[in-house]
Amino acid sequence: MEKIAFCDFDGTLSKGLSAIEFMKLLTDKKIYPEESFNNLTKHRSLFVGSKTTHDELCIGVFSNWAEGIKNQFMNTIKLNAMEFVKTYKNNIYPSSYQLIKYLKECGYYTVLISASQHEIISLLGEELGFDEIHATKVKIKSGLYTGELITKSHLSLGKAEIMQELSEKYNVNLQQCIAMGDAGGDLNMLETAGIPIVLNPHKSFVNTVEEKGWPIFYHDTIIEKLRIRKKS
């Protein structure tokens, strides 16, 4: 392995907010506390109103997630994740399948790094054909969730740290690697790679991207434009 392509999921490869929508499903089924779900709305409102940072939003959302599933059975969440993904995978952009295939053809080891729950992202990543998947995990003991977060992919610096760890593990130069993201939470990940690619940027992220001089792509033309860049 000589190079890795690191990719975000929500916004970058798929429309929607998978983490929130999964929590909504569990709330409707009385598995996830309604009060906890309502707290998510408060965190999002503060972020939209520019009263909190992206990392503060993610800390709030996923700490809330971890506490909300405390003492739930692992198998209950797993079965509901499988049900959720059966329909949610329709949110994946058709070009995302082609993109991962194309990256592999170009010799990249593909790694998905997402803030969303591992229970759903592991399935969605397998659907897309990723080689390796990193997402938010809550500690499990004796088949029950403990309420303790044990990963850092929900943090922007956490994504970059995962990249560093994998580059050391596989002895890969990050300057030869691609990072793909769409929003401020992916900023450190994009800065860490030698080849940053902004895919389907959120409107709040466009100014930052333009200041950095990074290329912007959209899901409906990404394959064609990457092939043109490779030829040139």
Can you spell out the DSSP letters for the chain? ---EEEE--BTTTBSS-HHHHHHHHHHHTTSS-HHHHHHHHHHHHHHHTTSS-HHHHHHHHHHHHHHHTTT-BHHHHHHHHHHHHHHHGGGB-HHHHHHHHHHHHTTPEEEEEEEEEHHHHHHHHHHHT-SEEEEE-EEEETTEEEEEE---TTSHHHHHHHHHHHHHHTT--GGG-EEEE-SGGGHHHHHHSSEEEEES--GGGHHHHHHHT--EE-TTTHHHHHHHHHH-
Domain ranges of the chain: 4-231
From the candidate CATH numbers 3.40.50.720, 1.20.1250.20, 3.40.50.1000, 3.40.50.10420, the one assigned to the domain spanning 4-231 = 3.40.50.1000
pTM score, two decimals? 0.93
- Of the listed ranges 34-38, 47-51, 206-210, the one predicted with least confidence: 47-51
Average pLDDT over residues 155-176: 94
In the structure, what pLDDT confidence band is assigned to residue 49 with cuts at 50, 70 and 90?
very low
